[in-house]
Structures are given as structure tokens and as C-alpha cells.
Amino acid sequence: MDEILEQTEKNYYLNLREFSSGEFEAVLKVVRPFKQEMMEASMAGACTNSAWMYPSFKTVSGIEPSREEVEAKAQQNHSRAVRRAKQNIRWLCKVMDADRLFTLSYRANVMDREQVREDFKRFLRLVRHGWRGQDGIPEWQYVAVLEQQERGAFHIHCAVKGFQRIKFLRACWYKALGGIGQETGSETPGAVNVTSPDKKKWGHTGRYWKVNKLAGYLTKYLAKTFDLTALEKKRYWHTKDLKSPVKQRFWIGGLSMSEAIRSAWSMLRLHVGVDVDCSMWVSSSNDVFWIAGCGDGDSS
């Protein structure tokens, strides 16, 4: 019996992230034997060789990979990068508790990504200069994602929190594009449009977004934008002091995923107090379980 417990003690692990709004996200995963060896070595400080942790084709097989293998690997890396970016954007929106969305666009057909980046940097400087110390907010916070329209022009979606002075933001955007900030009609170099949630697509109406829906909107076109930029280019921007939530890790024992889920649920009830109205997902391979929701306040 002791031998069985020893073998199953670290078969699963749960990563938990909590947000100031009271929401949480947790993911339960099967620990693969090689992955477990890496994790234990890393925790012990013994694994410092990244080549050993992430071996290349040639390191594993001693044979140069074929063109098909290289392309397949590149596609895997691309898909992984898209998933990671979507995940980070969702976490950052939750950290900020974002509930508003607006879009910066151009009148001209601007397709140069670097120009858009420089225009956005000028816009941020103007906003911070005029925003600091007002409304009790020390610094304007945002999460921004690029999207390219069918005509080729870029525009920028920005997730923010709380009341926004749209006239002020519009003047800053016009100035960033070389205007004086007071243009009207056909003289405007661009536009700042507030995007409200649509009931048909996002489940509710009004000016306020639910943070999960807002993050979903931001990441809707992310995969397409990834294809348009070099791998080293970042596909989203955010306030520098806006950090992803701290991850807590728990080892979960169990002879099966269903048993591990029951153990993880019990642990979450004790740690955060899970609400019955949680979002849950299990992978088709039955080796990943994801749950997100809001603590019910009974964890104490």
C-alpha cells in the first residue's frame, strides 16, 4: 500500500492563480515521467542546462530533422505561442479587472506595424502626462492588442478599467498622429471608438464588459496577427507594472483523472471557496482539467 501511495503521490499537479477581484483560475495536469524529473530537478536547483530540459531534434535522435518535421515543429511552436499570449492577456485583464474597451484607428490605410507601435508610444506618453494625479489614479493602465483589418490597416484594441475621458483620449490620439488634437469631421487623422458588448455575441449589453468576455474579444484575432509578424515581435502591450498573478502549485495524488479532480475540488473549496457557477473544461485526452470562477467566501 505504501508503495502504491508513493507511486501516485505526484501523478498530478494543480497550478492556482488568484486575482484581487476574488476570481481564480486553476489547471490540473498529469505529470509525465520526464516532466516530473525536470520539475523535481529544477526545484532542487540541480537542473540548469536548458539544452537538457528542452532537447532539439538532433540531440534526441542524432539525425537532422526532415523538412516536414521542421515545419510541424514550427507549427507547434506557433500554436503554443498563440495559446500563451491568449493566456497572458486573459490574466492581465483579470489583474486589472478590465471592464471597458475602446479602439484606436487610422483614417489612412496604415499597414506599417512599426509606425503603429511608434504612434501608440506617443499616445501613451500624452495620456500619462495628462492623466497622472487626476481622478485619484496615479497611472493609466491598459492591455492593448493589434488587429489588421481586411484592407490591411492596423488598429489597436485597448482594455481599460473604469470611467474613461474619451474626449481627452481622442485628443491624445490625434496629437500622436501629428494633429493638434481638436480636428473634427474629415480633418481627423483617426478615431477613438468605444466598443460595447453585444448581447448576441457576448451575452450581455451595456457599457461594462465582463472581464472574461473582454479578454476573449481581445484575443479573437490574435492567431491571425501572429501570422503577420516575426516571431520575436510581441503581439500585445500592457502597462509595465501590470504583472501576471503569482502561481501557486499543489501536488495532487490520484489513481485517475476523475479521482484527482475530486481531490483538486476539495482543495479549492478549502483554499479559495469555489462557487457552483464555475467554468470548467477537460481536454479530449483527459489529462488536463481547467476551472475558473469566483470564490464564494466560505474558504475561511
What confidence tier does 196 reach under pLDDT thresholds 50, 70, 90? Answer: confident
User: Which residues form the domain of 108?
Assistant: 100-209
Which region among 111-125, 151-165, 174-188, 226-240 has the lowest average model confidence (pLDDT)?
A: 226-240
The C-alpha atoms of residue 54 and residue 252 are separated, in whole angstroms, by 25
Contact 254, 28 (CB under 8 A): no
Cβ atoms of 250 and 14 within 8 Å: the answer is: yes
What is the count of structural domains for the chain? 1
Residue 108 inside a domain? The answer is yes
Residue 172 in contact with residue 102, Cβ under 8 Å? no
The pLDDT > 70 percentage for the chain reads 75
Chain centre distance of CA 200: 24
Q: Which pLDDT tens digit goes with each residue over 43-63?
A: 555 444 444 444 444 545 567
Percent of the chain with pLDDT over 90: 32
Residue 127 lies in a domain: yes
Does any domain span residue 190? yes
pLDDT exceeds 90 at position 137: no
Q: Is 65 within a domain?
A: no
What pTM was computed for the model?
A: 0.74
Tell me whether residue 169 is in a domain: yes
> What's 131's domain CATH number?
3.30.70
Please report whether residue 53 resides in a domain.
no
- Residue 300 pLDDT: 42
How many angstroms separate the CA atoms of 155 and 291, rounded? 33
The tens digit of pLDDT for each residue in 12-41 reads: 999 999 988 888 999 999 887 655 555 555
> Which residue, chain included where needed, has cell 472574461?
212
Kindly write down the DSSP assignment for every residue of 232-243, as one continuous string: TS-SEEE-TT--
